[in-house]
Amino acid sequence: MPSITAELAHLLASPCLALSDLHQLHALILRHNLAASPLLLPAFNRAIRALSKPHPFSALRLYSLFLRSSLSPDNFTIPFLLNASAALSLIPLGSELHSRSLRTGLLPFLPVANALIDMYGKCGDLSSARKMFDEMRVRDVVSFNALLGAHARVGVDMAEAQETVR
C-alpha cells in the first residue's frame, strides 16, 4: 500500500487533475486527518488551477473544501479563484477575494493584482478595475493589458482607453 506522501506526490505530479483525482484527494484528507497539512496547499492550488477555466463552479466548490481544511490561500490560489469568479460573473465573490488579499498581505503580488483587474473587467466593473490599476505600486505589461482588456469589454473607445494608461 502506498504511503500518504506517495499518494500526495502522485496527485501533485498529475499534469491535470481529473474529478476522480479530486475525490481521491478528498478521501485522502479525510482518511488520514490531513486537513491542516501544509502538503495540501500545492495540491489544492493545482486542482483549483486545473478547474478554474473549464469547470469554474467546481473550482469554487473545491475552494470551500480548502477553507474548511484550515488552509489559507496564497498568491497562487487567489488568481485562479479570481479566474473562476470572472468566468461565472460572480463579482461579490471576486470582491471578497479582493478583501481577503488585502487582509492577508497578498495584494502587492503582481499576479493577484493583475487577476483582480482582469476579474473586475470581465465582470463589467471598469471603475474597480481602474481603481485597482491606479493603486498598484508596480505594474507590468500584464497590468496594462488587463486594463485595456477591461476597457475593450465594456465598449469604451480604445483611444480613450490608451490615454488612461499613459
Tell which wins on pLDDT, 9 or 77. 77
Say yes or no: 41 and 83 in one domain.
no
5 and 40 housed in the same domain:
yes
Q: Are 51 and 59 in contact (CB under 8 A)?
A: yes
CB atoms within 10 A of CB 85: 29
Q: Tell whether 39 and 58 lie within a shared domain.
A: yes
pLDDT at res. 99: 97
Name the residue with higher pLDDT: 4 or 71.
71
Same domain, 55 and 96: no
Cell of 19: 474529478
5 and 66 part of one domain? yes
Among residues 54, 71, 88, the one where a domain terminates is 71
Could you tell me if 67 and 78 lie in one domain? no
- For the chain, what is the domain count? 2
Of 52, 71, 90, which closes a domain? 71
pLDDT at 36: 61
Q: Does 84 share its domain with 28?
A: no
User: What pLDDT digit, counting tens, does each position of 48-107 carry?
Assistant: 888 888 889 888 888 887 787 777 889 999 999 999 999 999 999 999 999 999 999 999
Indicate if 106 and 55 belong to the same structural domain. Answer: no
- Residue 82 to residue 124: CA distance in whole angstroms: 14
User: What radius of gyration do the chain's Cα atoms show?
Assistant: 18
Domain boundary (71, 90, 117) is at 71
Query: DSSP secondary structure string, 121-155?
Result: HHTT-HHHHHHHHHH-SS--HHHHHHHHHHHHHTT
CA-based nearest residue to 94, from 83, 103, 108:
83
Range of the domain at 31: 1-71
CA angle 133, 145, 148 (to 5 degrees): 75
Q: What is the mean pLDDT of residues 4-9?
A: 58
- Its pTM stands at 0.82
> How distant, in Å, are the alpha carbons of 42, 128, 147 from that of 133?
28, 8, 7
From the list 74, 7, 55, 64, the residue with the least C-alpha distance to 34 is 7
